[in-house]
Amino acid sequence: MEYFRARQQDVVIAPVFGKSEISMARLSCMTPGHGVIDPPVHEDAFFLAFNLLDYDGDLWVDGRRVQTKRSRSGNFTIYDHRRMWLADMRSSFDGLGFHIPRAALTAFEEDLGGKHIDTLHAVPGQDIEDDIVRGLVRVCLPVLSDPHHATRLFQDHVAALLTFHLCATYGNTSIRRPVQGALAPWQRKRALEMLEADLAADLPLATVAAACGLSQGYFTRAFRLSTGHPPYRWVILKRVERAKELLRSTDIAITEVAFLCGFCDQAHLTRMFVAKVGMTPAQWRRALR
């Protein structure tokens, strides 16, 4: 996303999902008149620009000026990088940019009936309202201040949800929704064994899905039907249970407990522990005595 030319100090680019197929960055400039961006690289990929502020600017696609309206906060625009586009960013701006390569869409074609997804249908410059995308962005925002707390499973889960939704909603109109079932008993057993074998490991979701012979998107939905939780949330619950076991049976410092259970630090453990148990690890340990 270097074409935004972060030449001013108040432009922030904070990568979050840099390890997954879909990458996300926070792009902001509180000073109006950022100017014309550099031409983006021509590639088989899409760019989703989500607005956290109302935005005004001029847009050219394939050398022609596109008539656009004011983009509202909470809405987004989709750009196809196989076309040439330029933007004159006249107003201040703040938002999230998602870079979505073709491979991310192709991975969901089997789940969506086997139809080839040629493009994401959106009029250039169209200001799109979508409650599901808004909800996913709300989930992403808290980790911007502390990217280390965005585990690989969390990243994979959000990326899979976003990609599946974009394919099903803005992909080919002939795509049929897949028939979705739970994991087979052997798949459930294998997935739980892999995830629980080392709760401190940040195991890629694609690895677990492949071991079950499923695509990542299908696996995520089937896992939730089988367990009642998406994979990353199931792992958090198991990590909290493991922390409770260590707090009850040992005198290990809480900082060490956090490390052994796969949390980034004591603050991360405390936040998850309070959310699931209703008290801090220290309070819970004292209550046992």
In the chain, the amino acid numbered 112 is L
* 162 contacts 22 by C-beta, under 8 angstroms: yes
3-class SS of residue 196: helix
What digits encode the pLDDT tens for the residues 257-270?
999 998 888 999 99
Model confidence pLDDT, tens digit, residues 71-101? 999 999 999 998 898 888 888 888 888 888 8
Comparing 283 with 15, which gets the higher pLDDT?
Answer: 283
Gap between the Cα atoms of 154 and 177, Å rounded = 24
Confidence band, pLDDT 50/70/90 cuts, at residue 204: confident
Task: Give 1's contacts (C-beta < 8 A, 6+ positions apart).
Answer: 13, 25, 27, 47, 97, 99
Q: What is the distance between the alpha carbons of residues 29 and 6, in angstroms, rounded to a whole number?
A: 9
d(CA 167, CA 108): 8
Unique residue bearing structure tokens 């209550």: 287
